[in-house]
Amino acid sequence: MSIVISKAEKDISKNRTLVMYLLTGSLVILLMMVFGVLMLLAQGKMIDVDPGFFYEILTVHGTGMVGSAALAAAAVMWYFLSKYIQLSKGIFIANFIFFILGVVLVLTGIFVYDFAGGWTFLYPLPAISAGGWAVEGAVLYLFGMLLIGIGFLLLFLDVARAIIKEYGSLGGGLGWSIVFGREKGYGPPAAVVASTMVSIVNITALLAGATVLVMSLINMVIPSVKIDPLLAKNLTYAFGHIFANSIIYMGVIAVYEILSQYTNRPWKANRPFLIAWNCSTLFTIIIYPHHLLMDFAMPKWMIIMGQALSYANGLPVLVVTAYGALMIVYRSGIKWDIASSFIFLSMFGWVLGVIPAIVDATIVINHVMHNTKWVPGHFHMYMGLGATAMLFGFMYYLARVNGKGKENSVDAISFWVYVMFFMALCGSFLFSGKVSAPRRWAEHFPEWIQYDRMGAVFGIFVILAVVTFVTRFWNFSRSLNSKLEEKIGPGHHA
């Protein structure tokens, strides 16, 4: 009896940390969506916002979305990976604490000291704002980012450690013996393969990010210490590109695990699957120069590599996953609830978003489209309909697993509102790009404004839908608290 309860307690307490991650992540996403609509209202001249404040909102929206989606996606990874290997709960909690501390500093830097240099904090802009913000603001922002990065770095180091312990090496986690034909059969569970990839690319990304953050901080304190701006830009985009991409590679673990549970069919890591993940591991790291196609001082081979391999980057994993998802669902008699619908949608959103991204990664097109709203148009598609769909799907799944999965028509309607209006929102961005509206401009010409206004309306509907998802999850988390108190008494939280 006591054994049964203590295991249950363990499960629930495990879920409590997870729930903190997901609740924080989804609440921040919701709040950032409100900021997103504010930007569109400002660009559409429906509200009057000081341009300086617009760029503060832009900074907080970009930073906050990627950070909170990564936090929630890390929870997805951690949850499923814990089925196969022993991860440190202490590190999992430490990452959360680093995250909260970092967020406080970042928010103070932005809203108290007016830092508005964008999530790219591109050297030397943070230090030289021509009076836009106090240097204290930039220091707080960069230091906050550094703390968030250290937390994630600890988490991925722990993931790598646990994978090496169980599978001998990171190559073991990526199924090299199968890839290189030394063995026949299947590799490690899909969740392990994906987590190995993510820990490799993100440890790389976070080290690059920490390097440029520390260098910039030193430069701000001792201005005579200068950095090569091109090096700084390379480090920044290596970090930004990889870290933002990793969200979907963590979220996709929910696709593998949830679809195989719902269909009662295993998702096996066969050789093509493993080869795809190995390719994406390498490509994700080396294609970031597609963010520097306009930088003529870059070595030409890096630019060409950035373009050529960008086509190949996400594609292998996307193909094996989308194909695998169709196959596993085909004639399986799967039950379509909100969780499985979100998971299936996420494949669709990912595929759809990659198409305009590939278009943009073509140098000739990039020279025209780059820095137009075409770019936010494509990444909102795979972030909003791909990555965050995986996260919301996982939140519904978690409630269901814990016996709190009572969904009703409000959830179903919200799901469809989310899909339709998010798609429309992305469409409005792509249209803005088509009429050459630049991205990241507070002031828009009259020709561009109609798309901003449409986008604002679509965004409001998206927010309403997300309020439903977050409220559901909130209620579930409260029921989890009372369940824990019943079992072990109040004031005795694990």
User: Which residues of the shown chain bind ligand HEM in the complex (CB under 6 A)?
Assistant: 33, 36-37, 39-40, 58, 61-62, 65-66, 69, 118-119, 373, 376, 380, 383-384, 388, 425, 439-440, 459, 462-463
Please identify, using beta-carbon distances, which residue of 239 and 431 lies nearer to Cu ion. 239
CB of 36 to ligand HEM, least distance (A): 3
The answer to whether 295 and 329 have CB atoms below 8 angstroms apart is: no
Instruction: Residue 66: name its binding partner from Cu ion, ligand HEM, none (Cβ under 5 to 8 Å by kind).
Output: ligand HEM
What DSSP letter does each residue of 188-231 carry, written as one string? Answer: S-HHHHHHHHHHHHHHHHHHHHHHHHHHHHHHHHSTTS---HHH
Contact flag: residue 378 with Cu ion (CB under 5 A):
no
**Nearer of residues 126 and 384 to ligand HEM, judged by Cβ:** 384
Report which DSSP code applies to 290: G
140 binds, among Cu ion, ligand HEM, none (CB under 5 to 8 A by kind): none
Q: Quick check: 334 and 404 in contact, CB under 8 A?
A: no
Is 91 within 8 Å of 184 (Cβ atoms)?
no
Pair of tokens at residue 375 = 């770019």
Q: Which of residues 241 and 380 has its CB atom nearest to ligand HEM in the complex?
A: 380
Number of residues that bind Cu ion (CB under 5 A): 1
Q: Is the dihedral angle over the CA atoms 22, 24, 30, 33 positive or is it negative? A: negative
φ, ψ of residue 222 in degrees (nearest 5): -120, 85
Residue 241 interacts with, from ligand HEM, Cu ion, none (CB under 5-8 Å by kind): Cu ion
340 CB neighbour count, 10 Å cutoff: 21
The interface region with Cu ion, picked from 79-87, 241-249, 254-262, 353-361 by CB under 5 A, is: 241-249
The whole-angstrom separation of Cα 23 and Cα 30 is 10
Which of Cu ion, ligand HEM, none is residue 377 near (CB under 5 to 8 Å by kind)?
A: none
Shortest reach from residue 323's CB to Cu ion, in Å: 24
Pair of tokens at residue 416: 């469809």
Instruction: Give the nearest distance from C-beta 464 to ligand HEM in angstroms.
Output: 10
For residue 81, the minimal CB distance to Cu ion (Å) is 25
Determine the 3-state secondary structure of 372 from DSSP.
strand
Least CB distance to ligand HEM at residue 35 (A)? 8
Looking at 16-24, 233-241, 343-351, 424-432, which segment touches Cu ion (CB under 5 A)?
A: 233-241
Residue 119 touches which of Cu ion, ligand HEM, none (Cβ within 5-8 Å per kind): ligand HEM
Q: Residue 89 touches which of Cu ion, ligand HEM, none (CB < 5 to 8 A by kind)?
A: none
Q: Which does 354 bind (CB under 5 to 8 A by kind): Cu ion, ligand HEM, none?
A: none
Residue 410 makes CB contacts below 8 A (sequence gap 6+) with 468
> Is it true that the peptide bond before 189 is cis, omega within 30 degrees of 0?
no
Q: What's the rounded Cα separation, in Å, for the pair 128 and 125? A: 5
Kindly state the smallest distance separating residue 353's Cβ from ligand HEM, in Å. Answer: 11
DSSP state of 139: H
Residue of 85, 133, 187, 241 that binds Cu ion (CB under 5 A): 241
Tokens 């913000």 found at: 133
The one of Cu ion, ligand HEM, none whose footprint includes residue 175, by CB under 5 to 8 A per kind, is none
Q: In this complex, which beta carbon is closest to Cu ion, that of residue 291 or of residue 404? A: 291
> Which option in Cu ion, ligand HEM, none does residue 484 bind, with CB closer than 5 to 8 A by kind?
none
Region of 165-173, 240-248, 251-259, 352-360 interacting with Cu ion (CB under 5 A): 240-248
Segment holding 304, helix H or strand E: helix 300-313
Work out how close the CB of 440 gets to ligand HEM at its nearest, in angstroms, rounded to a whole number.
4
Rg (C-alpha) for the chain, rounded Å, is 22
Q: Which residue has the CB atom at the shortest distance from ligand HEM?
A: 36
Match 């591991």 to its residue by tokens: 281
Going by the DSSP 8-state scheme, the letter that residue 116 receives in this structure is: -
The DSSP secondary-structure symbol of 442 reads S
As measured in angstroms, the least distance from the Cβ of 230 to Cu ion is 17
The CA distances from residue 467 to 113, 411, 474, 477, in Å, are: 30, 10, 10, 15
Residues of the shown chain interacting with Cu ion in the complex, contacts defined by CB under 5 A: 241
